[in-house]
A and B are shown apart, each in its own frame.
Chain A
Amino acid sequence: MSAPDLTVKIGSMTMKNPVITASGVFGYGEEFFGLADYGELGALVLKTVTREPRAGNPPASRTAETPAGMVNAIGLENVGIEAFLSDKLPVALGYGTNVVASIAGDTPEDFAHCADRLDSSEVAAIEINISCPNVKKGGMAFGVDAEASAEVVAAVRGATKKPIIAKLTPNVTDVAAVAVACAGAGAEAISLTNTFSAMVIDVPTRRPVLAAGTGGLSGPAIRPAAVYRVYQVARAVRVPVIGMGGIWNGNDALEFILAGASAVAVGTVLYADPAAGSRVVAGIRTYMEQQGAKRIGELVGAVRIGE
């Protein structure tokens, strides 16, 4: 039997396997250098950048550990698009796999500016972060509104020929409607979910643990909720869906794939196991061999409902 084919295409970006890093968690890529071979992954999605550098939310604390998860409110601290292009991107490209930039902004024009600057770079695709729950302006404010989301996608579409991935928030009533609007405006893929809005309170002091008050929950705690949203979106759009939310191993990734995801991202798990991405790839490959699946596409959306 020939080795199973894990290749995935997202627009013009071809990935050797469906496993990528989730934005934010992986920083600019350079921080993890040496702890695993990240060149083995399908793509590396780097930390969200904005037009100008941002300091992010006040510290102490920006993160809180919770059962099977963590809540963060970093607030898009980043070096800005120019330093990203000159200092960060060249290092990440050194991993030898697709590099995807993630962008955010306060206005559609901010997004378009970043996309325009990235258009001539070597990034393989651009992810639009319209789902960050931890900033006051922009971020999730776009992602909770289908029309506003489409407006951002359209603005970016006008600024770049790179594949566009719209990253959605689960903190909406109908995530499929937002996905449909983004695909209609020119997004070549939909990724979800970003974190679930969350809060942790320190009972002795009666104060929120996070300095920002609230944050976003990630990790295995959100996985079933994320799988369901991926299932909803995959049934609603024709473009590829990238699923994420608490993936820890190959089996978790396969849940997302069977629900309809063409690719999957590892996030929080990287803090525990920096080599989790390769472990997930191996788990998917083993399952394909056991099932006799020749191409990963055979498994996408292959959940058996009502059989």
Chain B
Amino acid sequence: MSESGMGACPGDRGQPGTGAYRVRAEVAESERLPGDHHRLVLKAPRIAEEAGPGQFVHVWCHPPEEIGRPPCAAILRRPYSISRVRPPGEVELLLRVRGVGGRMLASKRVGDQLDVIGPLGRGFQIRPELRRAVIAAGGIGLAPVPFLIEALASQSVQVTLLAGAAHDAMVPYRVDRQGAQGASLPELAALGAEVAFVSEEVDGKLVSDLLEARLGELDPEQDEVMAVGPRAMLKRVAELTEGRVRAQVSLEERMACGVGACRSCVVPVAKQASPAAMAATEGGLATRSGEGLGYGRAERPAGLGATALQNGPTYKTVCREGPVFYASEIDWERLDL
């Protein structure tokens, strides 16, 4: 059996809760990619079935059977956004190998087991009336983009991907600079997106520059921007889209628990989000029916809520109420970049 339940108990799909499973997943593929990137494919059918684009898994980097021994390094799990799900029940992760946890995971071989909790967090919301999505993604922010493109394309949403990085090697995909239309990422274009790629080094441009040039094309009712990447980029996306078109942004922050308990990964949220975003977050969660991949069901995690105060900042957790927020939900002035 490739996946076995570890901590699940009867009724674990009820509210409140994470809506997540803790499983022992077998490594199906482990591949080193250029630029310190690594691709891990896990056999985790229950996570694959429930996951939506933008959600993440929380991975224990040590062998599962050694969970009873305290490790010296990588004592916390590591969050990784789900890059793709694919039949039969596989979950693909793209890691940028930097610290000790990433190195441990990159050394996993096919057949090794991993203790994984997921899917976690609130992913991208796909509104039924969505006609066109412009994805803005920078660097390792491209990790969850394949899943997002596939989810959007399966619901007949027209997808444009504006991708970028400091230089070409900072991207976990092959960069094709031969095309007449400019650089592209063929692997992602093949999933059903029109792709434009720039690097600061070669093109002297940012993803937000590409977005700015396209803003006029977007219809405020039917189109939406979805952004993943560095905070400075996300803030620029928020500025460019404010009052013009809805934008969702995926944030990262240091986490400990991954389920909303420890309040480590909080971000400041605006006291009053725009009415459009509020409607979209609270009322408009119904998505188009999923067609076989299981991401048609939009589920808002249990309403743990922000710590609402009369005065001073209000925070929400990236791990539970995020990682994807409407740009209008975030207090960008208070957010550390």
List residues of chain A with CB under 8 Å of any chain B CB.
Answer: 24-28, 30-37, 47, 53-56, 58-65, 67-70, 72, 74, 77-79, 91, 211, 219-220, 246, 248-249, 252, 268-275, 279, 283
Contacts and interface: CB of A to CB of B under 8 A. Distances in A.
Contacts of B217: none
The 9 A-B residue pairs whose C-beta atoms are closest, nearest first, are A27-B261, A34-B12, A33-B17, A60-B336, A31-B261, A63-B264, A220-B70, A248-B70, A34-B17
A72 B261 contact: no
9 contacts: A24-B262, A30-B16, A31-B260, A33-B16, A34-B9, A35-B117, A63-B255, A72-B256, A271-B76
Contacts of B70: 68, 219-220, 246, 248-249, 252, 269
A53 B309 contact: yes
Tell me what chain B mostly uses at the interface: helix, strand, loop, or mixed.
loop
B67 interface: yes
Contacts, number: 166
B20 to A, nearest CB: 7
B215 interface: no
Contacts of A252: 70
B73 A31 contact: no
Interface stretch (B47-55, B153-161, B179-187, B311-319): B311-319
Contacts of A36: 7, 9
B315 A59 contact: yes
B263 A62 contact: yes
A56 B314 CA distance: 9
Contact of B261 (A26, A56, A64, A70): A26
Contacts of B312: 55
Contact of A35 (B20, B71, B268, B320): B20
A235 B17 CA distance: 41
B68 A279 contact: yes
B75 A272 contact: yes
A274 B253 contact: no
B68 A77 contact: no
Given A60-B253, A65-B75, A31 B304 contact: yes
Nearest to B308: A53
Interface-central residue, A25, A53, A54, A65, by most chain B CB under 10 Å: A65
Given A25-B261, A79-B307, A274-B117, 15 more contacts: A27-B257, A32-B18, A33-B302, A35-B7, A36-B9, A47-B261, A55-B313, A59-B267, A69-B75, A77-B266, A211-B336, A219-B70, A220-B70, A273-B60, A275-B22
Given A31-B259, A274-B22, A91 B67 contact: no
A252 B315 CA distance: 35
Contacts of B20: 34-35
Interface string B237-275: 000000000000000011111111111111110000000
Nearest to B314: A55
Contacts of B73: 67
B307 A91 contact: no
B257 A77 contact: no
Contact of B307 (A25, A34, A56, A70): A56
Contacts of B264: 61-63, 72, 74
Contacts of A62: 254, 263-266
B14 interface: yes
A195 B18 CA distance: 27
Given A53-B308, A219-B75, A220-B70, A271 B22 contact: no
B8 interface: yes
A60 B305 CA distance: 20
A293 B253 CA distance: 47
Interface in B279-323: 302, 304-305, 307-309, 312-315, 320
A220 B68 CA distance: 12
A273 B60 CA distance: 9
Nearest to B67: A273
Interface-central residue, B262, B264, B309, B313, by most chain A CB under 10 Å: B262
Contacts of A272: 60, 67, 75-77
B72 interface: yes
Interface string B70-107: 11111111000000000000000000000000000000
